[in-house]
Amino acid sequence: MLEFCASILAADFAHLGQDVGAAEAAGVDVFHIDVMDGHFVPTISFGPLVARALRGVTAKPLDVHLMVEVPQQFVPELAAIGVDRISVHREVPGGPDAALAAIHAAGLKAGLVLNPETPVEAAEPYLPLCDQILLMTVHPGRGGQAYLPGSSEKIAAMRALLQKAGSPAIIQVDGGLNAKTLPEARAAGADSFIMGSAVFGGDIRRNLQQLRQAAGMP
């Protein structure tokens, strides 16, 4: 599997519909929405209203990453909007159990996010509840950061853990991905690549062409 997820955090919000349309035409598979509450991470981004607006301009799957302290509170509204996947952090206060249960109860695909300092073994108890594991390859909270050293080794370790557990969950990676770092992450075992500035920074069509070439796609 190889999936390109465009993170709208890097899009031009004055022309969001135009950027989304261009990315879809260029071959993006999924649109990724980072919801930040200013508490779990220092940054405040946007909430369900942006997801609703995005749902109105694309039929592509919407993948939501909740960087919030009480993620289960967001699930009913996001489900009603029509998002497809919601990922929550292993590190949330009290653990991710309630949020993962709420996501499945809403009929959506559930993901578990691990921060760079969280070992892959922390995901093991939750694998039966997960459709995807999102490995942060930068520290969460802002875009434009560099791919952290050791990230590819962590991806490989997660791939080994999933295989050992017999889990069908896919591995997503988020942070510092571009035409130079994507091949390394893919070779380590990642399936789904969340990219912001690498997609929306400059000529979107040309960017996607370069990313596909880097991934060995026609």
What residues are annotated to the active site?
34, 174
Contact, 79 vs 64, CB < 8 A? no
Q: Which residues pair with 111 in a beta bridge?
A: 87, 132
Contact, 102 vs 87, CB < 8 A? no
Q: Where are the alpha helices (DSSP H) in 2-93?
A: 16-26, 48-55, 75-81
Measure the CA–CA gap between 136 and 114, rounded to whole angstroms.
6
Helix axes of 204-214 and 16-26: crossing angle, nearest 10 degrees:
40
